[in-house]
Structure 1
């Protein structure tokens, strides 16, 4: 049984005539007749009583034809829905994110795209400085990042929206003697060898803050090679600084590293959020996505 056969029996039942059904379906009468014969043979029942006056459904035929009518209507609905979606223009979400926050977008994007299939998110990974520059030059509409006063103090033209709380954590190998700690003071942190990701401005600001109030941190290496930094951590050559959110989100962290709370006021209650231009309204689709993102993050982390 195929869709053409179902369309054929529905049309015959509607018109009462093989010839009229053939005209409506743009096929020959012999093709319609052969289609019915093949279907009746396949099903093992008679669908129509044929005569010179036309074709009348049998009792069995009426049951089958009604089911076929429902199926053909559903198929037409699918075609109409597909045509409508195909005609809708692709809407690109111009959202950039710092590397650690990029994974927060994934689950929301997948579910959002099911509801809005003509949506595309390029997953733009950027540094904080690049996000600010892209916002100011209208290359993106929104940036996802850690919100901190030190990052935003010279940016009065930007607006922010906190989404979920996080805090800075010391990340160490599970083989490190420090792994047993639940928190570490700044005084003790000053003696820990550290490696930093080169483009992570948040850890740089944290290091500057510590240096202003205590003395410089013991930073052994700053690199954009994430693989090399991870090797340093896993082999317990050094520790690094990450956020609690990153640790919770990535299974790789929980399997290989221990995270220790850093006891330093002002850095143990941060927010991940989005930032945009104050004088610019967000596109409707982007605003809807951000609402969904906020709901998902609150559900996941609260």
Structure 2
């Protein structure tokens, strides 16, 4: 077997920042440290933090008054921040700066009296947080059919934003339909889909052409990982989204195959290494590294944790 190990893959700058924030909070404050929603959408990461004393909750009422709470990389609504303040929680905001950018754009457009079309997946943590910035002004669309069904009172004051982890191609089609139907629609000055999402998708689209099957490391509730699986399955090739080698079966592969291995932006490199080792052991796999482009983006820790990080050396 030949394995193509795609790069870039795995943790993006936003996930790195969020994971480092929770590690530092546990180290400095001691367990339990509460986290509103999963820190990132990856079961391996969540379980490892649970073992260290992190407690993941979906309702701030579950958190004792005055406790430490960390907001996940996906961001939260102003209502959640308000409740945290009322409960006297020590809130640490680990929202990805690229998600914060979308929140700020929503606030700007809403204050200017625009109706905002948000392209995203209903129920996703990021979408819930963004819509919470201006619920009276934001309408969610998930596909082109939703665009066709829109009824807008004032088409001259209309703007669109997108969830950061969408498929670039899917978002592009929806934006194209919006621009066709509403020629005067405004958009963000820079694409909302994050650099890491785009890079990983471009790598899979390019390298999968050389592969007989694709393995994406990531969890089922990870939007960006699901998009990678979908891209890998183009042209009818088998494409699998798995948390790790424990989810693979030998009958998924044949000797002599070429398999592309990559990882979503919330999947740790350790599960990539374990998966490659599984393929080595069972199929005598030879590994070839292929890189689409280098990534050197780093996001700063949340302000309350920066001094703690300096103290820890």
TM superposition score category, shorter chain reference = under 0.3
More strand by share: 1
TM-score normalised per structure 2: 0.26
Bigger-Rg structure (1/2)? 1
Q: TM-score scaled by structure 1?
A: 0.27
Report which structure shows greater RCO (CA 8 Å, sep ≥6): 2
